[in-house]
Structure 1
Amino acid sequence: MSRRYIEKLQRLMPPPVQGGDEIDWGRLTQSTGWILPNDYQEFVQVYDGGDIDDCISVITPPVPDSHYGDLLKDVESNFEEWPSVDVLIDLLRGTSPPHLLPFAEGSSGDVAFWQILGTPNEWKIVVFRRQVPYGEERWHLFEGGMVQFFVEVLEGVNRSMGDFSGMTEHRFTSWRG
């Protein structure tokens, strides 16, 4: 399934000519204990860390010289202090703030997280919207992979990271320039 979405994403947003980051995923797991979703690994290998349409920054594991390489820095954020945390807990049908790992940040302060529950390929996506119109919820749940999420965002189907519905071309800007 992720192969289909990565191919669709490549049609919507051509990857950088130089390709993505070379990450030794086995070594990363060995040194940190983290196993990351397969579609994310494929995204990083095809695109690397960088910006989607100058609006969404995609974070990667540490890569020399990349300022996008701080994926594992904010694993244990204190979500009790985030706005509307009670809505997040209800959304995820829990009783306490979940373990979340941020993988993308929007230019307006929105953050996309994985909910760390189950195996990495089962992780759901939770988006926090910093600025919302009155009456709209700040927290949104997406039950699919990261690449599928980006496809739906760029197609304008999912507007949790902004409204891209009027755009016909999308650009990825690598950290390499």
Structure 2
Amino acid sequence: MTTDGRKPMSENKLGAIDALIAAVAPPPSGGVADVDWTRFEKALGFAAPVDYREIVGRYGVGQFSGEFYVFAPGGSTGQDVYEESATFLDIIGDPTWQESVDALGTQWLHPDGSRTAIDLVGGEAAFQPWGGGSGGGYGYWHTIGDDPNGWPAVYTDLAGVWLYDRDGLASLLLAAVSGRFPADAVHPSVSEEPEFILFESYH
């Protein structure tokens, strides 16, 4: 346990992966087994969080419950973290998003229902993309601290939906498919029929 009573981050993440697998079965064919994670770190400037590695390795390239998709290194067009990174960083780096949420009073929504002020300070320097959503959503890690395994996960449509999970990507996906976010933030169908749809093309 940490001094605040929480489990170490690695335990939280591995526990979230186990729970995610129990809630959403990975494809029988498995995920991507031959990712060069050293190349990932050199290309993007950070080591891949352990839960992201597990998601890519267990699930591969596809979509959770018709909504959330996770980029993979070397994925098909539109799903390759190397190809999509610059575009997603340009988007979150636009300072007008902070101005917009400040003006509207929009807040991060956490899985426990609490809300906190949105902080986009640092723009593209404070976020790294992990994926997105079928309805035009954007997924990022909030790169606070030196350890990527401690980075919270963000999912937003840059309008009314601003989800934030301080325990990371697997925890955020689990909260979504478990129906822990309200219906106006994540459509009920995501938790009513939790599934993973594998995209066939991968290179």
TM-score (ref. length: structure 1): 0.78
Q: Does 1:172 align with 2:196?
A: yes
Q: Does 1:75 align with 2:98?
A: no
Q: 2:40 aligns with which of 16, 22, 28?
A: 28
Residues 104 and 28 of structure 1: CA distance in aligned 2, closer, same or farther (over 3 Å): closer
The number of residue pairs the alignment matches comes to 170
Shift, 1:93, TM fit? 5.0
Partner of 2:149: 121
Distance in structure 1 (CA, Å) of the matches to 2:159 and 2:43? 37
Listed as ranges, the gaps of 5+ residues in structure 2 are 1-10, 109-115
Q: Does 1:145 align with 2:168?
A: yes
Residues 113 and 95 of structure 1: CA distance in aligned 2, closer, same or farther (over 3 Å): closer
Greater helix share, structure number: 2
8 Å CA contact 2:177–2:191 kept in 1: the answer is no
Distance in structure 2 (CA, Å) of the matches to 1:32 and 1:142? 22
Which AA in structure 1 matches 2:177? Answer: L
- CA offsets per residue over residues 6-28 of structure 1, 9 Å max, x none? 12111211101111113111232
Which AA in structure 2 matches 1:75? Answer: L
Distance in structure 2 (CA, Å) of the matches to 1:130 and 1:94? 11
Residues 95 and 152 of structure 1: CA distance in aligned 2, closer, same or farther (over 3 Å): closer
Partner secondary structure for residue 41 of structure 1? helix
Q: 1:45 aligns with which of 54, 57, 67?
A: 57
After TM superposition, list the pairs within 5 Å mapping 1:57-96 onto structure 2.
57-63=69-75, 65=76, 67-70=78-81, 71-73=84-86, 74-77=88-91, 78-82=93-97, 84-86=100-102, 91-93=117-119
Listed as ranges, the gaps of 5+ residues in structure 1 are 133-137
8 Å CA contact 1:108–1:130 kept in 2: the answer is no
TM-score (ref. length: structure 2): 0.70
